[in-house]
């Protein structure tokens, strides 16, 4: 009996546990089923793997040829760190390589080599390769191809524009170019919300759109629309780093980090941007094809975190709990792919090797697969007991194939993921034919014989983003004219100090400057030198690197030339790119140790990376601090134009900057200095009257008692002039004006697209006013209706005046229905008098009956009379205002009348008791 009870208890507990992630096992479409049925176990297993390889050799003896032709892997990820791109023709070389890789798979399927076991030609089904890339923007180190493509900016630069159209255009340029190269899988964009930036480094920096989850989602949608439009649907988009690493304090490729937030907090911040790109209709151009699952732990899903707690990418239960959320479940059931983040990172290796263990690539791949990932990105994975990454990958493939044959449950899981992958590839191509995959009509701009355009086709969009992203961090815009009234003048000297960035396209390639030490000087000369108005002369401009600054501080006697330049300068312009290599610390040290060199000079700071790495003291020593967010050439040009005050900075930081008290939550809240528009929410073609006017009957509907009036606001703006995030709380109020007026109804609503909606029922006559507030914005237009008992009336719009200092205005008291016992002036009606007298008489009579049982008749009578007279006195004194309490009585109604009566009765009873005692 105990065993039976234990059995049922286990069943109940299992039913309560969250379901593990399982690939959809429903019957796939016929086209997918046909391909899957023709595949061997090795081919099915191969579809699960995205691999990397070193170099550009794709010949028959190369490792990449073996992985494709003999093991039929699902795809490749090309990366700069693996030397997959050459120096002089990285874009054209990539195009040629991708065509070759796809051709290898086709040839191996059409003309397969002989099976070593039987000697007969093996039979393979042709399935195109995924060829993927992570080209984030901003050049080195986040771009893989460093030349030949449009130099698009970082995601944070796009976020600083707050402009969805520009972001979509940038996505279109990126989608067009990489799809023309032959890439069909894009790892991006990053949808991490950097809610609390880490000033000491360790976060994603300018690789994110910003810190507000709503705006990150909006920007992500726009960029994805652009990717799809630019690629004409020939690109699968895999957003990263799911479920969000914005709250992490270190990079996930270096170490498995932990986000200690509750599930509700994660849904509001980390997960919200991913909701935006998975929760819509499957055919929408804003929905991603896949999610790149990061190696990170989440307390909200995984409970107490220990060193042995698996990252969510390896945790079946945690990943299943995430995908069970309504915003993800439909997307996943419709074929959304889960792609593991790079399994070859130091973070994954160190996690498995903790405690002296040995890292085995096949075990890590198995765990990631069973956790729910469909595609396994192996990267440069290497087992501790393997000589190289290639051997580790081959062993993992063989391990999966063996397990497929031995374990039916594992085989079913492989088939389910393989079917999802095949379905995704069929969405890219009408059919699996080489003619659909490799298209060479001579018009591709990346063909070697195609003449390259004189200017990159997308360079204009980069300049537009730079112009709209440029942000004045300090001082405020209103103070800039006083501290920096004029730009550099013709006779003044300028010293540029620049944080240089150099990188090579491959390990054997020459190192090229990506942001040269004289980049600002060259931009200044080009725009304002002899060919640009002759505002500056070259001999008055000097440039130095951060290495020169370090040498000056460490050995000033040996670096007198830089000291002389600084001493003679009128302007010192410092340009930084990020937190790495201690740039901010070096600048702080220069300001602290050599203030004499910077005295009485205009000190300008440009940040070509994230804007939050400097502290308050350091920023306060600069005359002006501008954020550009990206180091691409167009952003350097815009910095020069800002220096010479040709442009006004119009961008706004998309992340908080604590050093200047720039708080993103406050910035994205409603601006109090605005009048919120309010309109009738009418069908299209029927308009609300103009402010101050009354429409003709044909222009807008009329209203009467019993109707419902539907309303909407105009777009409510935040402090930066952008629509407030979705979900911003607003409050609509209907007020009755005049005598006895107050708030009749209040409706709380939230915004969508900056607009809130509400509806009121018209159930009382009078002059009605409808207003709306959204704290701290408390002034709105007013809709007025003079509703009578009979007849219909129109709506009038009244626009109040707006003052610069707006204080929250308390709402009038809520209007009460007419009280049948107390007048509006606060005096009892006849009905209240009647009830009070009845209550007094009944109370005195009941007291007389009860007291007669214990006292003589005279004593009982005196007590009853005392109560009777006290109740009458209390009622009359209050009713006729002897205690000046009619206002209190008006608020309390009949309850106030009865309270006063009972107090009088109690006092009268006490008087009757004293009367009885003195009579004795």
Closest CA to 297 of 344, 335, 253, 259: 259
Closest CA to 147 of 638, 504, 518, 507: 504
Q: Which residues lie across from 711 on neighbouring strands?
A: 680, 758
CB distance 198 to 250 below 8 Å = no
Using a 10 angstrom Cβ sphere, with 0-12 exposed, 13-18 middle and 19 or more buried, the burial of residue 463 is middle
Q: How high is the pLDDT of residue 340?
A: 96
- H/E stretch holding 290 reads strand 290-293
Q: How far apart are CA 828 and CA 836, in angstroms?
A: 10
Give the per-residue SS3 of 757-823: EEEEECCCCEEEEEEEEECCECCECEEEEEECCCCCECCEEECCCCCCCCCCCCCCCECCCCCCCEC
Please tell me the distance from the alpha carbon of residue 339 to that of residue 421, in angstroms, as a whole number. Answer: 10
pLDDT at position 728: 94
- Helices then strands, counting H and E runs in the chain, come out as 31, 26
Q: What is the DSSP letter of 83?
A: T
Could you report the average pLDDT of every consecutive run of 10 residues in the chain (920 residues)?
45 39 59 91 96 94 94 94 87 92 91 59 82 95 93 96 96 96 95 84 86 95 95 94 80 76 86 90 79 87 74 90 91 94 91 83 95 95 93 96 95 96 92 83 60 57 96 92 92 94 91 92 93 87 94 90 93 87 82 91 95 91 96 96 95 94 94 93 62 49 85 94 93 84 87 93 86 93 82 79 52 46 60 69 75 72 73 65 49 62 65 63
The greatest distance separating any two alpha carbons of the chain, rounded to the nearest whole angstrom, comes to 132
Please state whether 40 falls in left (phi above 0), alpha (psi between -120 and 50) or beta.
beta
Q: What pLDDT score was predicted for residue 920? A: 56
What are φ and ψ of residue 495, in 5° steps? -110, 125
Alpha helices in 40-154 (DSSP H): 41-46, 63-69, 90-110
888 to each of 391, 828, 871, how far by Cα in Å? Answer: 88, 12, 19
What token pair was written down for 315?
């945790």
Residues whose CB is less than 8 angstroms from the CB of residue 343 and which lie 6 or more positions away in sequence, other chains included? 361, 364, 365, 368, 376, 377, 378, 379, 381
Q: For residue 286, give both structure tokens.
A: 């804003």
| d(C-alpha 378, C-alpha 293), whole Å | 13
pLDDT of residue 809: 41
For 323, the enclosing helix (H) or strand (E) is helix 316-323
Length of the chain: 920
Q: How far apart are CA 149 and CA 456, in angstroms?
A: 7
Chain position carrying tokens 């108005």? 533
| pLDDT of 8 | 40
pTM, to two decimals: 0.82
Q: Is 630 exposed, middle or buried (0-12, 13-18, 19+ CB in 10 A)?
A: buried
Distance from C-alpha of 23 to C-alpha of 15, rounded to nearest angstrom: 19
Distance CA 388, CA 369 (A): 22
Classify residue 374 by its DSSP letter: S
């Amino acid at each position: 009996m105990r065993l039976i009870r234990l059995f049922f208890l286990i069943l109940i507990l299992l039913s309560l546990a969250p379901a593990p992630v399982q690939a959809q096992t429903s019957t796939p479409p016929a086209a997918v089923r046909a391909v899957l049925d023709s595949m061997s176990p090795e081919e099915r297993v191969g579809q699960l793997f995205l691999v990397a390889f070193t170099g550009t050799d794709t010949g028959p003896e190369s490792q990449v040829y073996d992985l494709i032709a003999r093991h039929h892997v699902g795809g490749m990820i090309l990366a700069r760190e693996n030397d997959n791109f050459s120096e002089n023709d990285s874009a054209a070389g990539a195009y040629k390589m991708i065509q070759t890789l796809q051709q290898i798979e086709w040839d191996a399927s059409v003309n397969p080599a002989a099976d070593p076991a039987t000697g007969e030609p093996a039979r393979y089904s042709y399935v195109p390769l995924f060829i993927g890339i992570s080209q984030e923007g901003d050049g080195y180190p986040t771009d893989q191809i460093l030349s030949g493509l449009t130099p698009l900016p970082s995601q944070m630069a796009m976020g600083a524009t707050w402009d969805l159209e520009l972001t979509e255009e940038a996505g279109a340029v990126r989608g067009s170019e990489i799809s023309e190269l032959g890439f069909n899988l894009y790892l991006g964009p990053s949808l991490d919300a950097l809610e609390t930036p880490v000033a000491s480094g360790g976060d994603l920096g300018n690789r994110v759109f910003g810190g507000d989850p709503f705006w990150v989602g909006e920007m992500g949608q726009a960029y994805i629309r652009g990717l799809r439009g630019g690629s004409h649907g020939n690109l699968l988009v895999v957003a990263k780093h799911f479920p969000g690493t914005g709250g992490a304090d270190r990079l996930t490729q270096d170490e498995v980090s932990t986000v200690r937030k509750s599930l509700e907090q994660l849904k509001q911040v980390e997960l919200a941007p991913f909701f935006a790109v998975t929760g819509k209709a499957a055919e929408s151009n804003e929905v991603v094809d896949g999610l790149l699952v990061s190696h990170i732990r989440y307390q909200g899903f995984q409970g107490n975190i220990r060193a042995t707690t698996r990252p969510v990418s390896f945790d079946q239960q945690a990943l299943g709990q995430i995908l069970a959320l309504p915003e993800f479940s439909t997307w996943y059931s419709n074929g959304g792919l889960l792609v593991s983040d790079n399994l070859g990172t130091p973070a994954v290796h160190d996690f498995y090797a903790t405690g002296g263990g040995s890292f085995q690539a096949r075990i890590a791949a198995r765990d990631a697969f069973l956790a729910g990932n469909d595609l396994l990105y192996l990267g440069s994975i290497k087992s501790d007991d393997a000589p190289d990454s290639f051997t580790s990958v081959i062993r993992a493939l063989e391990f999966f194939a063996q397990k497929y044959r031995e374990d039916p449950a594992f085989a079913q899981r492989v088939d389910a993921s393989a079917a999802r992958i095949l379905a995704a590839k069929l969405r890219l191509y009408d059919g699996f034919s080489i003619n659909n995959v490799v298209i060479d009509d001579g018009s591709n701009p990346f063909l070697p014989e195609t003449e390259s355009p004189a200017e990159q086709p997308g360079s204009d969009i980069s300049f537009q983003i730079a112009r709209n992203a440029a942000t004045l961090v300090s001082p405020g815009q209103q103070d800039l004219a006083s501290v920096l009234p004029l730009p550099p003048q013709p006779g003044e000297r300028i010293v540029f100090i620049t944080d240089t960035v150099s990188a090579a396209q491959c390990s054997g390639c020459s190192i090229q400057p990506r942001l040269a030490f004289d980049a600002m000087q060259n931009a200044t000369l080009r725009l304002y030198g002899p060919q640009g108005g002759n505002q500056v002369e070259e001999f008055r401009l000097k440039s130095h690197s951060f290495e020169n600054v370090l040498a000056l501080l460490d050995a000033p006697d040996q670096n007198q030339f830089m000291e002389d330049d600084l001493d003679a300068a009128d302007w010192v312009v410092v340009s930084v790119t990020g937190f790495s290599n201690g740039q901010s610390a070096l600048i702080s040290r220069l300001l602290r140790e050599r203030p004499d060199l910077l005295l009485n000079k205009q000190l300008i700071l440009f940040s070509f990376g994230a804007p939050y790495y400097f502290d308050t003291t350091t920023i306060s020593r600069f005359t002006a601090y501008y954020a550009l967010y990206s180091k691409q050439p167009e952003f350097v040009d815009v910095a020069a134009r800002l220096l010479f005050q040709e442009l006004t900075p119009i961008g706004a930081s998309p992340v908080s900057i604590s050093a200047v008290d720039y708080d993103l939550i406050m910035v994205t809240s409603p601006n109090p200095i605005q009048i919120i528009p309010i309109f009738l929410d009418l069908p299209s073609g029927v308009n609300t009257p103009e402010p101050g006017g009354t429409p003709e009957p044909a222009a807008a509907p009329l209203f009467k008692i019993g109707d419902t009036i539907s309303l909407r606001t105009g777009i409510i703006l935040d402090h930066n002039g952008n629509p407030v995030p979705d979900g911003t709380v607003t409050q609509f109020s209907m007020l009755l004006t005049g005598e006895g007026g107050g708030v009749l109804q209040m409706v709380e609503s939230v915004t969508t697209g900056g607009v809130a909606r509400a509806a009121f029922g018209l159930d009382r006559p009078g002059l009605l006013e409808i207003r709306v507030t959204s704290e701290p914005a408390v002034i709105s237009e007013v809709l007025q209706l003079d509703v009578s008992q009979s007849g219909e009336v129109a709506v009038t719009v009244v626009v109040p005046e707006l003052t610069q200092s707006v204080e929250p205005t308390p709402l009038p008291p809520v209007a009460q229905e007419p009280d049948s016992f107390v007048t509006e002036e606060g005096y009892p009606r006849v009905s209240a008098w009647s009830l009070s007298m009845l209550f007094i008489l009944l109370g005195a009579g009941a007291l007389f009956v009860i007291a007669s049982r214990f006292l003589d008749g005279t004593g009982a009578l005196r007590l009853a009379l005392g109560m009777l007279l006290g109740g009458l006195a209390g009622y009359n004194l209050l009713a006729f205002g002897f205690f000046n309490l009619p206002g209190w009585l008006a608020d309390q109604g009949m309850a106030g009348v009865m309270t006063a009566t009972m107090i009088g009765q109690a006092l009268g009873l006490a008087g009757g008791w004293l009367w009885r005692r003195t009579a004795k």
